[in-house]
Each structure stands twice: as C-alpha cells, then as structure tokens.
Amino acid sequence: MRPDDLLQFYARDPRATSLREALGREGAKVEMHGAVGSAIPLAIAGMLAHEDELAHPRHHVFVLDDKEQAAYFMNDLQSVLEDRRPVLFYPRSARVPYSEEATVENANIAMRAEVLNEINGGRDGLLVVTFPEALAEQVITRKELSDQTFTISLGETYTMDFLDEVLLAYDFEKVDFVYEPGQYSMRGGIVDIFSYSFDHPYRIEFFGDDVDSIRKFDPTSQLSVAKMTRATIVPNVGNTSLHDAHEPFFGFLPQNAVLWMADAKRCAAGLDKAMERAKAHYDRLSEEVQRTPPEELYLDGEHLESLLEPFGVVEFGGGTT
C-alpha cells in the first residue's frame, strides 16, 4: 500500500472527521485514544490533508516527552507527509544554565530562530516538533524580534563600516570564511553572512556602496544555491543580553494554532525539571556575578495550563489535559 493510500484511509475515517470538527471550536481540548506508534503521525497527516486546501492552514505544534521521542516522531511525520507541509524542529539551545564554560550550539540556536522567524513573518501551515526542555527556555518577544531583524535588499546602499557595526551589535563573529550561523566575513566588495534563521549563508556583492547581488551559497563548496532579492538577518535569539524582555514560546503562536501533546502532565513535569536545573546552577553563581533570575528566563509547569487555554489541544499519549 502506498503512503497516499494510507493517508486517504485515515482522512476518510469518521474519527478524523470528529477530530476536525472538535478542533474547529475555539480552545477545544481533545483526547485521542487507540493510535500507537506510526499510526499517530499517519492519523495526524490524514487530518492535515484536509487543511491543505485552505488558503491559510493553521500551525500545528507537536510536544513529545523528550528530544529522542521528538526526533523519531519528526522522522515519521516527514515520511508520511512527503514534503506536503514544512516540518521544523524546535530544540533547546543546549546551554548549561548560567555556565560560563558551556557553549551554545549555534545549529540549535539557528533552528530555534528559524521557527520564531517563520511564525513572526506570517508564514502559514508550519508543523513544529519540540519537547518540554526546549519549551522551558523563554524567548525574545515578537516585538523585539521584529525590531532586531535586519533586512538587506537589492539596490540599497550601505557602507562596510555600517554593516560591520550592525553585525557586531547582533553578536555575530567576524571570521575569514563563514561555516556556521552567527558568523560573517568581509572581503573587498563581498560580504558573507550566516544568519541564525537559515540553513545557508548569504553572499552579498556590492558595486561601490550599492547592493548588486544577493545569493545563498553552500559554505563547503562555495557554490551558489539560489539568487535572492533580499537577505534577512536574524540575531542570536538565545543571547539574553540582546533583548530586555522574554516570553514563553506559546506567545508567538496565533490563537488558532493546534497543540498536539503526548501528555500535558508529563510536559508540565518536564518544565519543572528544567526550572529546577536552572535554579540549581543559578544558586552556584558567585554573589559578585549579576544574572537574570531563572524565573524570568524559564517557564515552569504551574503556568502551562493557563498558557494552553486559548489553543486547541490534542493529547495522544493517554493523559488528560
């Protein structure tokens, strides 16, 4: 049986119709029983097939119990969807809370930034897979992300000194050749920038001070991937020194988004565990070091229920909301 046949089977199932109807009500809370293993992403994909015909399909966020389960689920979902909808992974930043020695994985920051930027940019129909530890880290507010996102378009005029100042202010690292998010280089009239929200860096060529061409390129082969009319530079969304306010990830979602959760209680427990870990690291800091307290940077399980209230929520792991 082909994947399309399976999707049609699940899409025609009366239970899928009941689920769609239930999620048509604002703030609906639904439990899905009887689906296990790969049947869960198949049932979800069958329901999503009906949204593909809509002009503005909704965002769907899938919250698994941990990173490993989230990775397996994402692989299954991508397999059954076959590129019908974009599926993005929203990881934790990989920073050990308040540790000077631990490094942040730029690839994880880039994935987080891509999700936030896509939602903030108004793109429809995103599918986001995540887990409690990632949701525990609060994020830059939508307003600050918009204010700090810098766009360079063809025909615009910039001096090299100005771009240098902007990128340094965004906490980008100046290198000879870019190879990971958060880096930039300047060679003559060419500026390479690896934004935190895209999988390829930009190569911007100038004629004098005018932007003459913009391309995405492969940092390994140095070959062009695509021509662009503009470059969108997103800062390090995980660097708390770049923004003054924070909010939960849920604050980025439009109210018609649907949250699929393995279990809301286990998610709340995961948030509490991440908060306790952050507090433990915070308590070890020297009194001479002034840092933002964990209550302002992390989300705990106590607030989860109120944050979920506006959204449609489906639990598919046997728990109750």
pLDDT digits (tens, 9 = 90+) for 135-154: 999 998 888 888 888 999 99
In a domain? residue 185: yes
Backbone angles phi, psi at 261, to 5 degrees: -125, 135
Q: What pTM did the predictor assign?
A: 0.84
Question: What is the chain's percent helix, strand, coil content, to nearest 5?
Answer: 40, 20, 40
320 assigned to some structural domain: no
**Do residue 63 and residue 202 come from a single domain?**
no
- Domain shared by 154 and 107, yes or no: no
pLDDT category at 100 given cuts 50, 70, 90 is: low
At residue 24 the predicted structure's pLDDT band, cuts being 50, 70 and 90, is confident
Domain boundary among 233, 263, 287: 233
DSSP of 182-200: TEEEEETTEEEEE-TT-SS
* Model confidence pLDDT, tens digit, residues 76-97: 999 888 878 889 999 998 667 7
189 or 1: whose pLDDT is higher? 189
Query: Coil, helix or strand for 212?
Result: strand
Domain boundary among 185, 209, 233: 233
CA atoms 83, 8, 17, 33: torsion sign: negative
> Are 130 and 90 within 8 A, CB to CB?
yes
| SS3 call for 306 | helix
Compute the mean pLDDT over every residue in the chain, rounded to the nearest whole number.
87
The domain total for the chain is 2
pLDDT tens for 210-264 read: 999 999 999 999 999 999 999 999 888 777 666 677 899 999 999 999 999 999 9
Contact 127, 85 (CB under 8 A): yes
User: At 317, is the pLDDT very low, low, confident or very high (cuts 50, 70, 90)?
Assistant: confident
Are 168 and 224 in the same domain?
Answer: yes
164 vs 214: CA distance, rounded Å: 17
Listed residues 200, 233, 266: the one ending a domain: 233
Matching residue, tokens 């994985």: 105
CA–CA separation, 128 vs 59, rounded Å?
A: 8
Range of the structural domain that residue 97 is part of: 3-144+245-315
- Same domain, yes or no, for 154 and 140? no
Q: Please write the tens of the pLDDT for every residue from 33-73.
A: 877 777 888 888 888 877 766 668 899 999 999 999 999 99
CA distance 28 to 288: 48
Q: Are residues 191 and 132 in the same domain?
A: no
Fill in the amino acid letter for 157. T
Q: State yes or no: pLDDT of 11 exceeds 80.
A: no
> What are 202's two structure tokens?
């930009």
Strand order across the beta sheet in which 210-217 lies: 173-174, 183-187, 190-194, 202-207, 210-217, 224-228
